Amino acid sequence: MTINSTKWSTRLAPFKTADNSRAIFEILITIVPLIALWVILWSLLQLKSAAGYIGLILLLFPAGGLMVRLFILQHDCGHGAMFSSKAANDWVGRFLGVFTFTPYDYWRRLHAGHHATSGDLERRGMGDIDTLTVSEYRAKTKKGKMIYRLYRNPIVMFGLGPAYMFLLRHRIPVGAMKEGLAGWISALATNAGILLLSILLIKFAGLSAFLLIHIPIVVLGASIGVWLFYVQHQYEDTYWDTRPEWTHENGALHGSSFYDLPKPIMWLTGYIGIHHVHHLSSRIPFYKLPTVIKEHPELQQIGRLRFWESLRCIHLVLWDENAKKLISFRDARKLPLATA
């Protein structure tokens, strides 16, 4: 479904007002349940029984979901959407980054690049999932193809990759020096906060609780977050084009999905599944996104994905420039060489 997107910026402007009281409320109803779950998980760990371990494993999932929600609060701070004050957004974002293991200022710069280039085929890879075109993949050496296949493997993409990114890669922002010291200062300051938090958790709850509760919550939250980010852009009929045909509005509206999940999960993930609206106007606070699609029902049918439909996105790994859609490795093998 194609809708002219050039006027959406004006139409969505009334939703861009930050509400400081609501922002504080959203932070509290995320952090308090997360702390409560952490304490319950710690209590289950002390039981040292099969029932306790099963309960711990089960409750790690909602705790990981709350960690995703905490990241969305930090994410909205990065867009200047949580508070009316830039200073409040930045300092709250930095504080939350200690819990999400994400250096706020460093991440914010990368994410701004993602928003500025989303859907632009010539500027892929800026804070995004690396995606090759069919012709680019065919031009790779055997080793290059193997590396790309490994990168796009679901175990790496949604398991090892997120753990590496949030536990290790964010600790040392290699390549950030060319942008000045800001990236390194952001990472090192966040690392210091994480170290202090870790020491406090280990002192009061023990090393086993830190390793078996806190780290899994962070890693699980990271994996859920990467999955959400993946399906928000890596679906069959997503949009990519080259300039001058590419426009920011088309990239936002037609290159971002509406991941229509059950309401409790939408709440838990900060409504980030309403991603096409978020890309159209990133200054809209996350809690207003459901109101936007309610008042503009035509947006509900653009890039809409249900959970079971989204599972098919896992195998979409190459951009077919002729068909203008994402395809699988198997589909790419069926294409004639002339299309490369």
Q: What is the pLDDT of residue 3?
A: 55
pLDDT band (50, 70, 90) for residue 178: low
Q: Is residue 8 part of a domain?
A: no
pLDDT of residue 177: 58
* Nearest partner of 75 among 289, 297, 294, judged by Cα: 289
Measured CA to CA, the distance from residue 156 to residue 145 in angstroms comes to 15
Assigned domain for 38 exists? yes
> Over pLDDT 90: what percentage of the chain?
73
Lowest mean pLDDT of 3-7, 32-36, 54-58, name the range.
3-7
Q: Is residue 5 part of a domain?
A: no
SS3 166: helix
- Better-predicted residue by pLDDT, 177 or 80: 80
Looking at the predicted structure, is the pLDDT value of residue 175 above 70? no
Residue 9 lies in a domain: no
Number of domains in the chain: 1
CA angle 72, 77, 81 (to 5 degrees): 100
In this predicted structure, what is the pLDDT of residue 1? 45
pLDDT averaged over every residue in the chain? 91
Decide if 6 is inside a domain.
no
Amino acid letter, 19: D
Residue 318 has pLDDT above 60, yes or no: yes
Question: Residue 7: inside a domain, yes or no?
Answer: no
Find out whether 119 and 252 touch, Cβ atoms under 8 Å. Answer: yes
Flag whether pLDDT at 18 surpasses 90: yes
pLDDT at site 139 = 94
3 part of a folded domain: no
Mean of the pLDDT values across residues 315-325?
A: 92
Q: pLDDT tens digit string along 268-300?
A: 999 999 999 999 999 999 999 999 999 999 999
* pLDDT at residue 125 greater than cutoff 90: no
- Taking a C-beta distance cutoff of 8 angstroms, is the pair 251, 8 a contact? no
- Report the alpha-carbon distance of residue 112 to residue 115 in Å, rounded: 5
Query: What is the extent of the structural domain holding 183?
Result: 18-339
335/320 Cα distance (integer angstroms): 9
pLDDT band for 251, please (50, 70, 90 cuts). Answer: confident
Return the structure tokens found at 309.
Answer: 């439909």
Average the pLDDT over 130-154 and give the result.
94
Q: Is the pLDDT of residue 340 over 50?
A: no
> Which residues sit opposite 304 in a β-bridge?
258
* Predicted confidence (pLDDT) per residue in 156-167, tens digit: 999 999 999 899
Task: Give domain status of residue 68, yes or no.
Answer: yes
Question: CA distances (Å), 219 to each of 150, 174, 313, in order?
Answer: 20, 21, 22
The mean per-residue pLDDT over the stretch 230-240 comes to: 91
- ∠ CA 179-181-184 to the nearest 5 degrees? 100
When pLDDT is cut at 50, 70 and 90, the band that residue 176 belongs to is: low
pLDDT at 270: 95
Confidence of residue 304 (pLDDT cuts 50, 70, 90): very high
Q: Cα–Cα distance between 11 and 88 in angstroms, integer? A: 27
Model confidence band, residue 173 (pLDDT cutoffs 50, 70, 90): confident
Q: What are phi and psi of 12, to 5 degrees?
A: -95, -5
